[in-house]
Amino acid sequence: MTAAALPALPPLLDLAGTAVFALTGALLAARLRQTFVTMSFFALVTGVGGGSVRDLLIGAPVFWVRDPWVAPVCLGIALLAWFTPRRWWEGQLLEWADAAGLAAYAVLGTAKALAFGLAPVPAMVMGVITGCVGGVIRDVLAGRPSIIMRPEIYVTAAALTSALCVAGTALNLPHAVIWPAAALAGFALRGAAIRGGLALPAYGRNSG
């Protein structure tokens, strides 16, 4: 499929997903009391990490290299986090911002993979990768255990979002219906995990 034939993803939706994930990177750097340069780097890497890996895997041009707005948006988010009072960002805001980014990016990743002609299951995997990899990179850079290494529901929320996107597309439902509904479902599941400690059972079978 040529680039000209690809269904257009809403640019504002794409930028919004990037901005939300960039915010989680900037907020984590702020919690670690890092410099503005480090905060900007965290914002950029977190904002574009999942989408970059997705584009490399599906053979698409890496989105933020060709979009003149992505890097400035990430740096603008870092400025916002730097110059606003710390009390604005205390509590669980980092987790809720991450949940919103996870849902938005899972939608975008799945939609782009489908647009590039991937089969449903690989497209779902691309949605999960897009939603989760940025957060994994952020956590690794910060030297803290990644969320995907804890039993708390995270990847499952991205998988739910991606599965609903694929199912809605297979049923020929309008994108204006599929994408918000899928993102809301994933965000709600992740929110339940944040609020109620929802988790999948860990492997507990005796090795002997």
DSSP 8-class letter at 88:
G
- Among 130-139, 147-156, 158-167, 176-185, the minimum mean pLDDT is found in 147-156
pTM over 0.85: no
The β-bridge partners of 158 are none
Structure tokens of 166?
């694929």
> Taking the domains of the chain in order of start, what are their residue ranges?
10-196
- What's residue 10's pLDDT? 58
Owner of token pair 């904002």: 47
More confident: 95 or 124: 124
| Residue 113 pLDDT greater than 80, yes or no | yes
